[in-house]
């Protein structure tokens, strides 16, 4: 990749012929089988012999598997996606060893994403037409937006979603993605929520569209119809597709809204401050899990991360235990507790009236600005219950510090 250029994926729908769909479906199955075989081999080697199996060794195993009668079908598809899935497994193990992810799991035919990745040797790109290995005809791609001028894909990923839609994603260098001029707003704090998807330190509240709730009744009806169908029948498959179409429609609308929102925030602000939310832990709350999943805070953060990188902005992530909502943004007084149902509160120290979310966004902004000014090693004050110090001791310490400063 040339210096200064960003690699960006452009995703399009395409409509395969029956022959192409058969080849790709077989490729998906082979990719899943190779991944599971390699994972099993690596797991057995470690637990039985305490040996680590590398990517090179799994690649040699793949060659041996192809020579057997049991796995002869692996020779019927392109070898490129099979090698790529071994690289993905290696990446999964690296993430596990470095503590970024859990131990890799086996892929399921029903639950895992159906996809195959082709590198440059696995496809042909000529005159804006894409032809994959083991195919004679180019794919019928709907070019809903143009690729950058002179773009040459380095990687092509084919996928099929639960609703049966086919997609092709082309990874290309995009010279149009460049750092923007300095934004008008130096910094903004973002407080994520459910009533409002985001509350900005400026006071702006971004409405939560609640995409899943809008289709909840239609989805429940489709799921009831699916439950009544005979298992393994064609009618059950049709009903499953209807349920899947509702789900992907919800996901498409949610993704579109988040893309528009994060692009606006990255363009309008030089520094964006967010909280490091433990979304996985929050999902254990059965009363709020559905609403939290629909808000998609993790996707929001991921989009902000790469778009800030694209446009030369700074994203500051504040510690999740920082009591942003319980701290008065005017005087710094810390409440002992603030239940979730309390949306407005009055500071007992200075009398300021706060909107819970706006107050939290202002405190996040202040904490983020301190990090920018003093360095990443600066930590905002944690909630007393997370430091082993009671609220009473914390208040006594603050009062003592205040008397000492007045005496001086």
List 117, 212, 275, 383, catalytic entry: 275
CA distances from 113 to 21, 110, 159, 240 (A): 16, 8, 8, 16
Pair of tokens at residue 368: 């983020």
Pair of tokens at residue 15: 């409509």
For every residue of 215-231, DSSP letters joined together read THHHHHHHHHHHHHSPT
Provide the 10 A C-beta neighbour count for residue 67: 10
d(CA 97, CA 153): 31
List 117, 191, 358, 383, catalytic entry: 191
CA distances from 24 to 15, 56, 120 (A): 12, 26, 17
**257, 209 contact by CB (below 8 A):** yes
| Residue 191 known to be catalytic | yes
List 117, 173, 294, 357, catalytic entry: 357
Q: Which contacts of 126-130 are long-range, i.e. CB under 8 A and separated by 24 or more positions? A: 130/156, 130/168, 130/170
| Residue 70 known to be catalytic | no
Phi–psi pair at 316, nearest 5 degrees: -110, 130
| Residue 225 known to be catalytic | no
Judging by DSSP bridges, how do beta strands 314-318 and 344-346 pair with one another?
A: unpaired
- The residues annotated with a catalytic role in the active site are 191, 275, 357
């Amino acid at each position: 990749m040339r210096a200064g250029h960003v690699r960006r994926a452009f995703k399009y729908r395409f409509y395969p012929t029956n022959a192409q769909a058969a080849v790709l479906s077989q490729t998906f199955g082979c990719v899943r089988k190779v991944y599971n075989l390699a994972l099993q081999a690596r797991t057995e080697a470690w637990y039985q012999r305490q040996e680590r199996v590398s990517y090179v060794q799994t690649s040699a195993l793949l060659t041996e598997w192809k020579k057997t009668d049991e796995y002869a079908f692996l020779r019927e598809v392109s070898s490129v996606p099979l090698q790529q899935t071994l690289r993905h497994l290696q990446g999964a193990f690296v993430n596990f060893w470095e503590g970024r992810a859990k131990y890799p799991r086996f892929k399921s035919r029903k639950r895992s994403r159906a996809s195959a990745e082709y590198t440059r040797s696995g496809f042909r790109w000529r005159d804006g037409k894409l032809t994959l290995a083991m195919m004679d005809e180019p794919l019928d791609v709907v070019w809903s937006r143009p690729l950058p001028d002179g773009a040459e894909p380095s990687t092509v990923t084919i996928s099929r979603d639960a609703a049966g839609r086919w997609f092709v994603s082309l990874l290309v260098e995009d010279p149009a993605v460049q750092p923007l001029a300095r934004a008008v707003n130096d910094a903004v704090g973002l407080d994520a929520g459910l009533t409002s998807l985001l509350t900005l330190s400026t006071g702006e509240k971004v409405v939560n569209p609640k995409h899943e709730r809008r289709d909840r009744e239609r989805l429940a009806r489709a799921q009831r119809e699916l439950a009544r169908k005979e298992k393994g029948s064609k009618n059950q498959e049709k009903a499953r597709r209807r349920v899947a179409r509702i789900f992907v429609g919800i996901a498409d609308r949610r993704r579109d809204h988040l893309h528009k929102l994060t692009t606006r925030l990255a363009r309008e602000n030089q520094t964006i401050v967010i909280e490091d939310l433990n979304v996985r832990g929050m999902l254990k709350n059965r009363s709020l899990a559905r609403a939290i999943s629909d808000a998609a805070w993790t996707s929001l953060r991921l989009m902000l991360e790469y778009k800030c990188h694209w446009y030369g902005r700074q994203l500051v992530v504040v510690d999740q235990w920082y009591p942003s909502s319980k701290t008065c943004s005017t005087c710094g007084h810390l409440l002992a507790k603030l239940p979730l149902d309390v949306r407005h509160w009055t500071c007992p120290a200075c009398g300021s009236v706060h909107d819970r979310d706006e107050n939290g966004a202002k405190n996040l902004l202040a904490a983020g600005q301190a990090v920018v000014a003093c360095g990443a090693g600066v930590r905002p004050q944690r909630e007393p219950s997370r430091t082993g110090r009671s609220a009473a001791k914390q208040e006594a310490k603050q009062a003592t510090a205040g008397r000492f400063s007045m005496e001086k």
